[in-house]
Amino acid sequence: MVMFHKSGVPSDWYIKGASPGKEALYDARYILRLETVEFLFIAYCLTGDIRYCQWGWQIFQSIETHCKVETRGYASIMNVDEVPSRKEDKMETFLMSETLKYLYLLFDNAKYVFNTEAHPLPIFTPHIRSGFSWT
């Protein structure tokens, strides 16, 4: 969270998504970011604590309820404090490539390793012996 002191702040400064004329101490938008669900996935892998899955499911349900649009896509939320939510006509690419990926992995029982771009690769045991085999 970033907070600014009022002194010296230009009069046209505002928090994106906050109600006009109403001061907000935080950014009220939800732009479909991945960091929280990525953390839940990592925390669950490290601890096995089911609460991380429960929180992930609540986040997924909230995305479905508040961010989904009639055309089957998703939209950013202008102010998370407003229900029903006002949507921005914009779907960030990281929703599909990262946010939903980590939610999927959170509920999948398979084991994965990640390449340098954080793409999951399943761990498997080859059944065919090849010249590249270490055993």
Binding-site residue numbers are: 116
- Cα 41 vs. chain centroid, distance in angstroms? 11
CA distances from 55 to 27, 40, 52, 118 (A): 22, 8, 5, 22
Give the residue from 59, 56, 32 showing the smallest Cα distance to 44.
Answer: 56
CA distance 131 to 134: 8
Collapse the DSSP code of 130 into the 3-class scheme (helix H, G, I; strand E, B; otherwise coil) and give the result: coil
Residue positions in the annotated binding site for Ca(2+)? 116
Question: Residue 121: beta bridge partners?
Answer: 113
Give the residues across from 76 on adjacent strands.
88
